[in-house]
Chains A and B, each alone.
Chain A
């Protein structure tokens, strides 16, 4: 098996000893400050931008015609919009997990992946937040969710999981943005001081807010950053738990289950890490960042994926067992319908993608093979999307009353909206790679200091 590069003698350390403060700064900052655009970057952005236009077209058509252009009808009123919402929110969990939880656990390998994982979180949450708005039917009234003194004299229903969702996703998006921006401030100052031209100097200067690395500033900065991490940790767990309440508090067979919150959180971490790998592997190849995103980083992420995948498998098992043990006819029917009903093919594909194939991660030479890992990350992304499809659509399409059973088929506009958000996500990622440092420069300098301290 090939493991990326043969001459990579440092594949087991996180950072080579040969790097200095100047060399890490130069290597990462020059990706942003180089004047030339890479051809791959231009092509990638163009494709993503075209797909973003497809999203805008789909949204415009939706606003003109209403949600009837989608495949949704009673009993499946949730369809793709909610499937995609849950999928994107789940992907958005890895960034904060890597940044916050791994920071608190003093896992140093987080340093070179946290910045773009946080960016990924923000963009994924932005894509996710679009779907409930589009699904509202009358999206122009989305602000009715917020508790503001309106002339109608009514207030949101605080006993509903849908309003909890509004607060959870809103808080998560805000806190992730703050965390990301605070982490960026010293690096924006680096870009300000390194750029030679006026416009980037002014633009990065404004964003860096006059950061000058004072010792007192660093003290407050580090305290604030650590506290943000401590706050973000329970927040990550809460967000997907609240998303799972949307289902678990309903009485629909296949939804009404207390295992949903932990199993949703594990699934979110699973798909989030898969997406981090999907981005990290091409990124480090395209920009020569193998010194920073080493094979050991990929290996660690693969292990986290394996562990969270097993929790997801346990969730499926518990769900099935509870349905059988409850002795409830509809609950058991929904399990049997998943495995043998009209959507059985998707169910078995899900089992293959999420449980069977990822067991390859037990083997070290699979975890160290970038091609295998990249393929696996795509398989898991697909599997997690199918999981949400099974939960939303297959549970709804045959509920208590056989007279109202129906088959849900997504339309062109369902697909175009979904693929459009993938375009929006990748377009934002391409712009981010070009405009901001993809790896935290000042934290890499700290790693340089530590590795030098060990050797002397």
Chain B
């Protein structure tokens, strides 16, 4: 363990999702903050356990939708009323009922794009490499295993006590994550 100052953190492996949620809650209660749980599927109670009960996705999508709506109407209004007015049988230039379909479609389009791009951006993806990918056991995080990683940068982190703490939480294995 002479290289320990070089590592990214300590990774604990669990077999059952319930064990992970319980361990994560204990880690949070102990006072650790710079840690993250990993699971092969959404696990009920896990975001709450890591202290991230809700995301700001709804706000992002709302903004996207409003921008799309205004873009849709603004574009049609500008093009048919200001830039290229066509008198068709004396009908009003701002014939807003016939603008509704395009406004609706652009609202949905912008909202959907902001949901996907917002989710990826806030998650910091795409991210081609991450120190955890260096751990062979971590391959199973996308299959059937559950992990929690406490980072070295956490103020409470201590090589020996954190390791023992994770072992006491019932981890199947505690693994050094190389940087």
B96 to chain A, nearest CB (A): 10
In Å, the complex CA distance between A242 and B109 comes to 16
B74 to chain A, nearest CB (A): 12
A41 to chain B, nearest CB (A): 25
A190 is an interface residue with CB less than 8 A from chain B? yes
B5 to chain A, nearest CB (A): 24
Q: Is the CB of B83 within 8 A of A155?
A: yes
Nearest residue (CB) in B for A194 is B143
Interface residues of B, dominant DSSP: helix
Which residues on A sit within 8 Å (CB–CB) of B47? 215-216, 218-219
Which residues on B sit within 8 Å (CB–CB) of A251? none
Question: Given A22-B143, A224-B115, A167 and B36 touching (CB < 8 A)?
Answer: no
Nearest residue (CB) in A for B76 is A158
B79 is an interface residue with CB less than 8 A from chain A? yes
Which residues on A sit within 8 Å (CB–CB) of B41? 186, 213, 218, 442-443, 445-446, 449
B169 is an interface residue with CB less than 8 A from chain A? no
Q: Is the CB of A158 within 8 A of B50?
A: no
Q: Is the CB of A221 within 8 A of B123?
A: yes
Q: Is the CB of B40 within 8 A of A154?
A: no
In Å, the complex CA distance between A445 and B129 comes to 25
Nearest residue (CB) in B for A189 is B142
Which residues on A sit within 8 Å (CB–CB) of B58? 223, 227
Question: Given A215-B46, A215-B52, A158 and B79 touching (CB < 8 A)?
Answer: yes
Q: Is the CB of B101 within 8 A of A221?
A: no
Nearest residue (CB) in A for B122 is A220
Which residues on A sit within 8 Å (CB–CB) of B116? 178, 181-182, 224, 228
Query: CB within 8 A of B109: which of A174, A210, A227, A445?
Result: A174
Query: CB within 8 A of A186: which of B54, B99, B142?
Result: B142
CB contacts between A and B, total, < 8 Å: 196
B165 is an interface residue with CB less than 8 A from chain A? no
Query: CB within 8 A of B102: which of A25, A158, A181, A232?
Result: A158
In Å, the complex CA distance between A104 and B116 comes to 18
Taking residues whose C-beta sits less than 8 angstroms from the other chain, chain A's interface range is: 35 or more
Which residues on A sit within 8 Å (CB–CB) of B138? 212
Query: CB within 8 A of A25: which of B122, B130, B144?
Result: B144
In Å, the complex CA distance between A227 and B111 comes to 9
Please report which residues of chain B, range 27-84, place their CB below 8 angstroms from some CB of chain A when the two chains form the complex.
36-43, 46-47, 49-50, 52-55, 57-58, 61, 65, 75-76, 79-80, 83-84
Q: Is the CB of A215 within 8 A of B57?
A: no
Taking residues whose C-beta sits less than 8 angstroms from the other chain, chain B's interface range is: 35 or more
Please report which residues of chain A, range 182-209, place their CB below 8 angstroms from some CB of chain B when the two chains form the complex.
182, 186, 189-190, 192-194, 205-206, 209
Which residues on B sit within 8 Å (CB–CB) of A223? 54-55, 57-58, 119
Question: Given A21-B144, A216-B36, A218-B39, A210 and B55 touching (CB < 8 A)?
Answer: no
Query: CB within 8 A of B84: which of A155, A168, A189, A446?
Result: A155
B7 is an interface residue with CB less than 8 A from chain A? no
B113 is an interface residue with CB less than 8 A from chain A? yes
Which residues on B sit within 8 Å (CB–CB) of A181? 116
In Å, the complex CA distance between A116 and B14 comes to 32
Q: Is the CB of B142 within 8 A of A220?
A: no
Over the window 146-165 of chain A, the binary record of Cβ atoms lying under 8 Å from chain B Cβ atoms (1 yes, 0 no) is 01000001111011010110
Q: Is the CB of A190 within 8 A of B142?
A: yes
A20 is an interface residue with CB less than 8 A from chain B? yes
Considering the complex of A and B, which 8 residue pairs feature the smallest CB-CB distances, nearest first? A209-B126, A210-B127, A21-B144, A224-B119, A223-B57, A164-B101, A219-B47, A193-B139
A interface, CB within 8 angstroms of B: 20-22, 25, 147, 153-156, 158-159, 161, 163-164, 167-168, 170-171, 174-175, 178-179, 181-182, 186, 189-190, 192-194, 205-206, 209-224, 227-228, 231-232, 234-235, 238, 242, 245, 442-443, 445-446, 449
7 pairs of residues in contact across A and B, judged by CB atoms under 8 Å: A25-B40, A171-B108, A182-B116, A211-B142, A213-B141, A213-B142, A238-B101
B interface, CB within 8 angstroms of A: 17, 24, 36-43, 46-47, 49-50, 52-55, 57-58, 61, 65, 75-76, 79-80, 83-84, 88, 95, 98-99, 101-102, 104-106, 108-109, 111-113, 115-116, 118-120, 122-123, 125-130, 132-133, 138-144
Given A25-B40, A235-B108, A442-B42, 4 new contacts (CB under 8 A): A167-B102, A194-B139, A214-B36, A215-B36
